[in-house]
Amino acid sequence: MPDVTVPHARELTQHLFRHLPPGRTAIGLALGCGAASGAVALAAARLFHARQFDRIVVAGGVAVMETEGAAALLPLLRRAGLPQPRPGEIEADYMARLMRAAGVPPARLVLERASAHTGENFAFTRALVGACRSITLLNCAPTALRVVATARKYWCPSETVLTFHPVYPFGIDRHNWPAHPVIRRFVLDEHAKMADGPGSYVARGFCVPVDWAAEAARAATLPPVPRRPPVPGPRLAPAAPRRPAAPHPAAPHPGGPHTPAAHSPAVHLPAARMAPPTARRASWADAAARPSIRAEAAPSPLRRQGPDAPRRSGRGADTEGG
């Protein structure tokens, strides 16, 4: 298998991994993609629940495990946690089973179970749904150019607006696809199908040339996907009134139990800080009424105790003119 250089990988990504503006369409068309069909099915289910379309056509008549590269992609299928296809299960049945498990009602699914390739996907789908004003195409991301070019062979631009939703299976994206050999071979094959030359699908009549800028301009005219209204939640019962916190046992109120405000949190603080203001004022009054230690002490002989107190002479004595 040839290696892909970084410049070549960028060129292939720009050429194949294309995008069209999303919008609400009449139907979604999920195309079988071998072992990656499960990822396509889950992407279609997500868009259905997002109300991008109300009906899904599931196309693919080839057994999933008989497609090219399916055996090599089976480990990636298990690692991604996708349900494995049953023995002999064709792409349409496999995708429809996953969509039903994802909550898509069976009445919203239209199965096309006879096609063997992409051209027959569109030919048989056209026979099922007829003229359609808008379609969301879903397939693996590298097939965007070929899928839209093939769809234009069966639906002309004046009749149908197309948009393409790229699916990136197994954790593959626009940057890491060259790292996996099977995905690298898949991308190189897609490039060979759509490259200029006598062997391309356009030259062989499988699809028609497309103007991608014009396709993007038409897709931009699609109505936006409606936003799902919010689901009303359960009605909550009114909150019970808060009960007043119990008074701190170490700081009773003089006139009765102290009841703090209803919004005050119950914080355990020392008793002195929890005492009410009136109690603190009372303790200050008691302290002021008690005689001070200095008042209870004996009078000093060095200090005058009155106008008739005797004066002592000497150094430092309190004498007249001293």
Q: How far apart are CA 48 and CA 144, in angstroms?
A: 20
Q: Kind and range of the H or E element at 112?
A: strand 109-112
Q: How far apart are CA 58 and CA 91, in angstroms?
A: 8
Digit-by-digit pLDDT tens for the chain (322 residues) are 567 788 899 999 999 999 999 999 999 999 999 999 999 999 999 999 999 999 999 999 999 998 888 888 888 888 888 888 999 999 999 999 999 999 999 999 999 999 999 999 999 999 999 889 999 999 999 999 999 999 999 998 888 999 999 999 988 899 999 998 889 999 999 999 999 888 899 999 999 999 999 999 999 999 999 876 554 444 445 556 666 666 655 555 555 555 444 444 554 545 444 555 554 555 545 555 555 444 444 555 545 555 555 555 444 444 444 4
How confident is the model at residue 180, as a pLDDT?
Answer: 87
Q: How far apart are CA 263 and CA 252, in angstroms?
A: 20
Q: How far apart are CA 62 and CA 143, in angstroms?
A: 18
Cα Dmax for the chain:
138
How confident is the model at residue 197, as a pLDDT?
Answer: 87
How confident is the model at residue 185, as a pLDDT?
Answer: 92
138 phi and psi, to 5 degrees?
A: -125, 125
Model pTM score: 0.70
How confident is the model at residue 6, as a pLDDT?
Answer: 85
Given a contact cutoff of 8 angstroms between Cβ atoms, the answer to whether 21 and 214 are in contact is no
What's 130-172 look like in SS3? CCCCEEEEEEEHHHHHHHHHHHCCCCCCCCCEEEEEEECHHHC
Given a contact cutoff of 8 angstroms between Cβ atoms, the answer to whether 123 and 95 are in contact is no
How confident is the model at residue 90, as a pLDDT?
Answer: 97
Q: How far apart are CA 250 and CA 288, in angstroms?
A: 23
Q: At a CB cut-off of 8 Å and minimum separation 6, what does 69 contact?
A: 34, 35, 182, 185, 186
Going from the N-terminus, what domains does the chain have, and what CATH number goes with each? 19-171+213-219 (3.40.50.620)
Residue 254 tokens, joined: 């003089």
